[in-house]
Structure 1
Amino acid sequence: MGARVAIVSYNVRTDYLVRFSDYKGKPALLQAVRKIPLVQSSGHRNLGAAMRFVARHVFKRVRPGILVRKVAVFFQAGRAYDTVAVSTAMLELSAVDVTPVIITFTEEHNLPDALLMDGASRFHLFVWETEHQQDVEHMAHCTLCYDKCQPDPECGPGGPGPQAVDMDLVFVVDSSQDVEIDIYRGALHLVDAVLEDLEVAAQPSMSLQGARVALVTHTTPGFRPGMGRSPVLEGFNLTSYGHRTQMQRQVREAAGRLLQGLPALGHTLEWTLEKVLLVAPLPRRARVLFTIVASETSSWDREKLRTLSQEAKCMGITLFVLALGPGVGTHELVELSHVASVPSEQHLLRLEGVSEPEVAYARGFTRAFLNLLKSGTNQYPPPELTEECRGPNRGDTLL
């Protein structure tokens, strides 16, 4: 019982000052903290790298438990030099269920807006530019000592409820011949969990706001290009259902249908864009293809995958790729990094399997990713694609 404390310092690199296992009592810990030397660094600060270090290393072996809370407090004195790294770190911290708290000493902090737009108290930002703002008790009460069973109203929303996001979200799940049944069912289990976290539009064909969700699986048996067959089995489209439980029922029914056709991700994405995403009325500002890949696509599909993913990105569609299980090798992962939107650290997630911790990691990452989309921090298409999108693959060939 009781809290454990670790301390790191950072500039361009991150160093341990105190590890969780170093001190067993408060007096010894306080004495060690008071002896930490104040060293002036000449290097630039990299808050994002420090946050990722904490997510990957500091909390790596923290004991699990229903009542165990993981909180990381970061102090930022000045502007962030790499806000993309901060956004990426937020995804990784959410994935390992760490609540990040950032205390900055300037109003001109330029930290990502996603820190301010999460409605479930998953991220906290405190600006302590003046002495009056430096309310340590309030910060500790609402973060370190926060009681999620009896939340204090002054700390904001109590707990993580359904996310209110305006987006069209299409899950594209690999069910081709090389996919193991447990991997396929694990992928659908993740879809089910993500739906649990979403506030779905009650009238998807008429409302202007709210999340709309579709599900397709691929590849159907016997599919080959030019034969007039669909590569996809459609579970439901963006306007089929106005309640998550209806969608979850269809997702669970799909778990018994492993298609086992030849893998054809490129042709699947083409069909999904033409028949699902682009034909839905009242399109949302954010349109997402959430692709769960568990196999290497066929050789005859690779060129289609490259051109189609580029066209989709030029149309402002977000491509998120989850590479899942042993069927995705190193070479395929490199290919998928070009399929996913940029930065790939935010849009490409690799998991070895579908154990409960791995699915929980993907669920936490996805929740934070959807919040990042809601904030509008990233541009789709990104500025670096502007010239390419004016070329032959400019993104209007599907319209």
Structure 2
Amino acid sequence: KPDCPVHPTELVFALDQSRGVSKRDFERMKDMVASLLRGVRVRENSCPVGARVAVLSYDSRTRHLIRFSDTYKKSRLLREVEALPYQESADGGEVGRAMRFIARNVFKRTLPGPHARRIATFFSSGQSADAQAVTTATMEFSALDIVPVVIAFGPVPAVRRAFAGPGTRGGEGRGGERFEHSGPARRALLWGQGSAASTGFRIDDTGTFQVIMVPSGADHSPALERLQLCTFCHDVCKPDAACQEARPPSPQSYVDAAFLLDSSRQVDAAEFEGMRVFLAALLDHFEVSEEPETSVTGDRVALVSHAPLHFRPDTQKSPVRAEFNLTTYRSRRLMKRHMAESVQQLNGDAFIGHALQWTLDHVFVGTPNPRRSRAIFVISAGETSHLDRETLRKESLRAKCQGYALFVLSLGPAWNDKELEDLASYPLDQHLVQLGRIHKPDLRYSVKFAKSFISSLRRKS
């Protein structure tokens, strides 16, 4: 298509040069990159039309081969790709680490425009052992609006588990191959054997993340043509009818979630307002139960503020203000109205551990019809009181041992690494977001990252 991509696009290719990748495999990767590039308009100057292209290679490390700043005419770019040398490596291929490197170091700046797109295509020779890094990278890609594509020459179970959304389903492909879709076919075509694992994280609920299996000897042309038509050339305003496919309803699991809001004296007015904005935006990603007391379907949300003035551990005063519990409201609208009209800063000293203890004892215990997944979101803007540190350590351990997932959003320039590590669930990269250390916090990123975390909780029963 001469107008492909329709929108300004940053396009990254990452070639697997790890142990076990033959020269033939590497040449095949380059041929696929060249085939895909021939069908797109390459950006050759400062005019934001077409695609900026970067190419990297990876094994246990990631290396730049062609940078965005290396502005080439398309003919020269194709020659540069063709000339990329094959190099043997003794290191394994860590695609998760490569994904995180590209998210953090290559996609540094977003192209201007509401429909600007970022797509990263990774070639993989087979299994990657860094399953945790793949999951974390998937969450970061989701938060940064980066569309990842993995073209695999062999099984990549860690990637498939991370990419598989709640709508995953299976079917039979040509030649007896088995394929799966995760969301609309235009964006998520998974070629491979078997179905996605029934356990593990399922981060992507948008249908944009994709794995394409191209076993040795298989004709990859149809898969690449569809990838180009439905992903690289995708028009968000006028999607191609050939790429549309109805997404069937899927079994859903639900969440009981409690938010611990830091409204202590160490939170300034701007930070407190930012926290309320974050909460209101994150509520949009919960399917709030219409009958929270009696129904077994739908999410339920509670909000607890801490810490009231003059609270001390040796008094009878409550360490929190209970804004609403899991069964108070039956709609997001009512919750947001409460946040806007009733939530006020308490201006006491921070006692996060005591607030967590109160939440465990009073929010979840005794509530009918508990959901399969239980999460506590801790929103903090500084350290807890020195009188609270031991309680925080004990109560966070207690929560984890009882099966609660602890997600921590830490804002502002003051923090305690040991405290955050004690508080958040493991792995920390998937349960801890720290913002505002140097620059103004990007709450949009934190909302989208937390959305990925919520999706990970919604595993099928």
Could you say whether these structures have the same fold, taking a TM-score greater than 0.5 normalized by the shorter chain as the test? yes
Shift of 1:317: 0.4
In structure 1, the partner of 2:456 is 372
Cα offsets for 1:278-300 (capped at 9, x unmatched): 23211111100010111211111
Q: State the distance in 1 between where 2:80 and 2:402 align.
A: 55
Q: Are 1:85 and 2:133 counterparts? A: yes
Question: Which residue type is aligned with residue 433 of structure 2?
Answer: L
Q: State the distance in 2 between where 1:375 and 1:17 align.
A: 39
Contact 1:48 1:85 in 2 (8 A): yes
Q: Are 1:30 and 2:30 counterparts? A: no
Contact 1:166 1:210 in 2 (8 A): yes
Q: State the distance in 2 between where 1:127 and 1:272 align.
A: 46
Shift of 1:350: 0.5
Question: Which residue type is aligned with residue 14 of structure 1?
Answer: T
Q: Are 1:319 and 2:367 counterparts? A: no
Shift of 1:364: 1.5
Q: Are 1:46 and 2:94 counterparts? A: yes
Question: Which residue type is aligned with residue 154 of structure 2?
Answer: T
Q: State the distance in 2 between where 1:277 and 1:17 align.
A: 53
Q: Residue 6 of structure 1: SS of its match in structure 2? A: strand
In structure 2, the partner of 1:103 is 151
Contact 1:74 1:100 in 2 (8 A): yes
In structure 2, the partner of 1:149 is 237
Q: State the distance in 2 between where 1:352 and 1:153 align.
A: 43
Q: Are 1:183 and 2:271 counterparts? A: yes
Shift of 1:157: 7.2
Q: Per the alignment, do residues 244 and 110 of structure 1 end up closer, same or farther by CA in structure 2, a change over 3 Å counting?
A: same
Moved more, 349-358 or 317-326: 349-358
Contact 1:319 1:340 in 2 (8 A): yes
Q: State the distance in 2 between where 1:155 and 1:110 align.
A: 26
Contact 2:255 2:374 in 1 (8 A): yes
Within the candidate set 134, 137, 144, 2:225 is matched to 137
Q: Are 1:333 and 2:421 counterparts? A: no
Moved more, 68-77 or 125-134: 125-134
Q: Per the alignment, do residues 357 and 173 of structure 1 end up closer, same or farther by CA in structure 2, a change over 3 Å counting?
A: closer
Q: Are 1:3 and 2:51 counterparts? A: yes
Q: Residue 120 of structure 2: SS of its match in structure 1? A: strand
In structure 1, the partner of 2:200 is none
Map of 1:156-195 to 2, 5 A cutoff? 166-195=254-283
Contact 1:173 1:216 in 2 (8 A): yes
Q: Are 1:12 and 2:100 counterparts? A: no
Cα offsets for 1:128-165 (capped at 9, x unmatched): 23625651011222322222223456656799xxx965
Q: Which runs of no fewer than 5 residues in structure 2 stay unpaired? A: 1-48, 166-203
Question: Which residue type is aligned with residue 361 of structure 1?
Answer: Y
Cα offsets for 1:165-194 (capped at 9, x unmatched): 511111111000111111111011111111
In structure 1, the partner of 2:209 is 123
Contact 2:127 2:155 in 1 (8 A): no
Q: State the distance in 2 between where 1:30 and 1:341 align.
A: 46
Q: Residue 15 of structure 1: SS of its match in structure 2? A: strand
Q: Per the alignment, do residues 335 and 56 of structure 1 end up closer, same or farther by CA in structure 2, a change over 3 Å counting?
A: same
Q: State the distance in 1 between where 2:234 and 2:459 align.
A: 25
Q: Residue 55 of structure 1: SS of its match in structure 2? A: helix
Q: State the distance in 2 between where 1:158 and 1:241 align.
A: 33
Q: Are 1:207 and 2:255 counterparts? A: no
Q: Per the alignment, do residues 288 and 60 of structure 1 end up closer, same or farther by CA in structure 2, a change over 3 Å counting?
A: same
Q: Per the alignment, do residues 191 and 61 of structure 1 end up closer, same or farther by CA in structure 2, a change over 3 Å counting?
A: same
Higher relative contact order (CA 8 A, sep 6+): 1
Q: Per the alignment, do residues 210 and 111 of structure 1 end up closer, same or farther by CA in structure 2, a change over 3 Å counting?
A: same
In structure 2, the partner of 1:246 is 334
Shift of 1:302: 0.6
Q: Per the alignment, do residues 66 and 355 of structure 1 end up closer, same or farther by CA in structure 2, a change over 3 Å counting?
A: farther
Cα offsets for 1:294-331 (capped at 9, x unmatched): 12111111110000000110001001111111232xxx
Within the candidate set 196, 199, 213, 2:284 is matched to 196
Percent identity over paired residues: 40
Q: State the distance in 1 between where 2:419 and 2:206 align.
A: 35
Cα offsets for 1:317-365 (capped at 9, x unmatched): 001111111232xxx1222112111011111111016988701110121
Q: Residue 136 of structure 1: SS of its match in structure 2? A: helix
Q: Which runs of no fewer than 5 residues in structure 1 stay unpaired? A: 378-399
Question: Which residue type is aligned with residue 106 of structure 1?
Answer: G
Contact 1:152 1:158 in 2 (8 A): no
Cα offsets for 1:354-393 (capped at 9, x unmatched): 988701110121111122222479xxxxxxxxxxxxxxxx
**Cα RMSD (Å):** 2.4
